[in-house]
Amino acid sequence: MHLWGQQVVDGLRGVPNVGLHCTQLRVKATLVVNEGGEPMPSPFTASKLVLRDEVELRLSDWFNPRKRPDVVTTTDWLAPVIWEGTFNRRVLEEYYRGQDLTIGLAVLATGRIADQYLELFMQSANKHFMTGYRVIFYIMVDAMCQLPNLEPGPLQTFQVFTIREDSREDFHLMHMKNLASHILGHIQDEVDFLFSMTANRVFQNDFGVETLGTSVAQLHAWWYFKDIKDFPYERRFRSAACILLGEGDFYYDGSVVGGTPLEILDFIQEYLEGMIHDKENGLNSTYERYLNKYFFTHKPTKLLSPEYSWDTALQLPAQIWLVKAAQCSHMCLHT
């Protein structure tokens, strides 16, 4: 089912002026019977339903890139880059309120991150993350974590999972392996869209449905304002994460990734395969570099501006109109 679901997603990438993909996750591949009488999945019905929703809401209905001439608002592959001022929240809300959506947020909170930031993260998410919609928080902690006293807000539910730890693995690898297991086990049946974030951030303003899409990448707060030749891509050509000099387009923040559960599962699979490939060849790259390679070869359908994951250690430039979420430094703990 994962394969057929991915074929549907890949087939839609070439559709022009695609605005929003709303029903594709909840549509399972339809069973048909082949000439031998054996059941086989068909992506036709799912594709048809998704295209129906695209007709209902086009990108031009809610997105106006001309309102932000000071920044990049559309990629070379025609994906929108979401900045404050580019989207019409009223149109989006009118559309999504009728879609019966459930949105998932997988939160990685291990060790010191959980102790210092999880409570603040959850308190701010209750106020600002997808307010007015059903949200399932998948809180992923290690065995030693002492959970704060968390109270879900209206339409919110919590699911807490213990990450299976391996001292030989970094926390990104542990998180993604566990997240893939939960996507396959139940998340793909529970939510329409899924975000994965580390807990060391605070939501400061609405992080809303303008961020939803099939494949959502977060622009890096620091590297967005730098020259592409200086991006810290993996340059060793034998690595699965390699992006050669002269290639690339943006540098993406590894602490936020979003999309449909099947799309995130596809990314995790390629990330893990890349890790294995490099290990077998005596190489070791970083999670963020594998993520950047994935989005270089599988272009995201929507990009979030640095406003959605701002670094509080940086001075705010004029291009940042409204910080939606801030990665925590010590300053963050006192806001």
Assign 83 to helix, strand or coil: coil
User: Any known ligand binding at 220?
Assistant: yes
Q: Which residues contact 309 (CB under 8 A, 6 or more apart)?
A: 201, 218, 219, 220, 221, 253, 255, 256, 325, 326, 327
Coil, strand or helix: which one is 143?
coil
d(Cα 269, Cα 95) in Å, to the nearest integer?
A: 32
User: Which DSSP symbol is given to 242?
Assistant: B
List C-alpha distances in Å: 191 to 121, 239, 323: 21, 34, 26
What does 87-137 look like in DSSP terms, one character per residue?
A: B-HHHHHHHHTTS--EEEEEEEE-HHHHHHHHHHHHHHHHHHBSTTSEEEE
Number of other CB atoms surrounding residue 68 within 10 Å: 18
DSSP 294: H
Using CA atoms, how far apart are residues 206 and 258, in angstroms rounded to an integer? 16
Q: Answer yes or no: are the C-beta atoms of 112 and 166 closer than 8 Å.
A: no
CA distance 230 to 243: 12
Are the beta carbons of 104 and 182 closer than 8 angstroms?
A: no
Q: In the numeric block, which tokens belong to residue 273?
A: 């395969």
Q: Is residue 307 annotated as involved in ligand binding?
A: no
Q: Which residues are catalytic?
A: 288
Q: Is 253 annotated as a binding residue?
A: no
Annotated binding site: 220, 288, 311
